[in-house]
A and B are shown apart, each in its own frame.
Chain A
Amino acid sequence: MPASLEFKQNSHLDPQLSDPGATASSVEKLTGHWVNTNPETRGIAECVIEPDGLDLIVTVRATGVADPIAWPPTRAAVFANMEEEAGQRTSALAVNFGFGFMKSETLIRVNKGVLVIVLFNSFLDDSGRSDYVTREFFYRAD
């Protein structure tokens, strides 16, 4: 790795970041159909993560009053995950959902076979609702 690389912390200089073999996207552990472990959730009921060329598309169905609410399929940004837990290293996804009245910055990762979705929801309307964060867990259904 060239010594002239800019950095703001030592991990920016981690040689693995320049090694395609070390950071190869292990997205197969992310792709598929995932169902919320909590049947009483008031949030995301299920999601599908599927490849689209080199990208990943995330499709969510969330809980609604009568029927589930389909969120617009949204492209994910893929990040090499420098964590290794139980010998696993799987990419993490960042997804920005836009709904007009609200936006949701989303982290998706897998931890020991469980999909973890963290939503940072920001309201853009004048409803007085607090921006809020949720974390939910999903099991593989396919």
Chain B
Amino acid sequence: MHFVQLYDRVETDPATTAALDTSPLPGIWVNSNPDTNGIARMAVSASDGSLFIQAYAIGPDGLIDWGKTELAIFASTPGARMAAGFTCRYDFGFAETVLQGMLMKGLLVLSQFHRFKDDSKRADYFLREYFALEHGRF
């Protein structure tokens, strides 16, 4: 088995490996910062065995729908079968945004890498924000 760090050394049998449990992710995730200038909320949904995200960001005239894109799902270890994070990519033409999400104690910590591809000479930039899952219990 190939490995580049000891974490990678987990013996698994691909024939009997269970699918990843992605149940912690679907739902509506809301930014903890009401004054954000970035993503206000995200809808994560399942379809045909995959997970998709639809982000809504703050614009000058209201929310901007980024549309849906598929998530790559990550567990906490190579032997774990519970979702603990995700990555995805949006290509807007003039810019590309990579999102990296990690679940921590019920909170979603979202890192955003914004890379401009136009000639605006804007600096590529990084943001990190926190999102809570709407649960409607309280």
Residues of A within 8 A of B (CB): 2, 5-14, 17-18, 20, 23, 42-44, 62-65, 69, 71, 77-83, 91-92, 94, 99-102, 105, 107, 109, 118, 120-123, 125-135
Least Cβ–Cβ distance between B107 and chain A, in angstroms: 13
Can you sample 30 A-B contacts with CB below 8 Å? A5-B120, A7-B59, A8-B64, A9-B58, A10-B57, A11-B127, A12-B122, A18-B121, A20-B123, A62-B6, A65-B9, A77-B115, A78-B124, A79-B114, A79-B115, A80-B124, A101-B2, A102-B4, A102-B8, A120-B72, A120-B85, A121-B78, A122-B74, A123-B78, A128-B13, A128-B15, A128-B17, A130-B79, A131-B73, A132-B76
Q: Which residues of B contact A20 (CB under 8 A)?
A: 123
Residue of A nearest to B102 (CB): A133
* Docked-complex contact B39 and A9, CB < 8 angstroms: yes
Q: Which residues of A contact B72 (CB under 8 A)?
A: 120, 122, 131
Known: A105-B87, A123-B78. A23 touches B125 (CB 8 A): yes
A137 to B12, CA, bound (A): 28
A128 to B11, CA, bound (A): 9
Q: Which residues of B contact A12 (CB under 8 A)?
A: 95, 114, 122
Q: Which residues of A contact B85 (CB under 8 A)?
A: 120, 133
Q: Which residues of B contact A42 (CB under 8 A)?
A: 5-7
A42 to B8, CA, bound (A): 9
Pick the contact of A105 from B9, B20, B100, B126 — CB < 8 Å? Answer: B100
A-B Cβ contacts below 8 A, count: 174
Count how many chain B residues have C-beta atoms less than 8 Å from C-beta atoms of the other chain.
61
Known: A23-B123, A130-B81. A10 touches B60 (CB 8 A): yes
Task: Give the interface SS of chain A, mostly helix, strand, loop or mixed.
Answer: mixed
Q: Which residues of A contact B115 (CB under 8 A)?
A: 77, 79
Residue of B nearest to A71 (CB): B4
* Docked-complex contact B14 and A126, CB < 8 angstroms: yes
* Docked-complex contact B78 and A10, CB < 8 angstroms: no
Residue of B nearest to A92 (CB): B126
B132 beta carbon closer than 8 Å to chain A: no
Q: Which residues of A contact B37 (CB under 8 A)?
A: 9-11, 14
* Docked-complex contact A6 and B94, CB < 8 angstroms: yes
* Docked-complex contact B5 and A62, CB < 8 angstroms: yes
B138 beta carbon closer than 8 Å to chain A: no
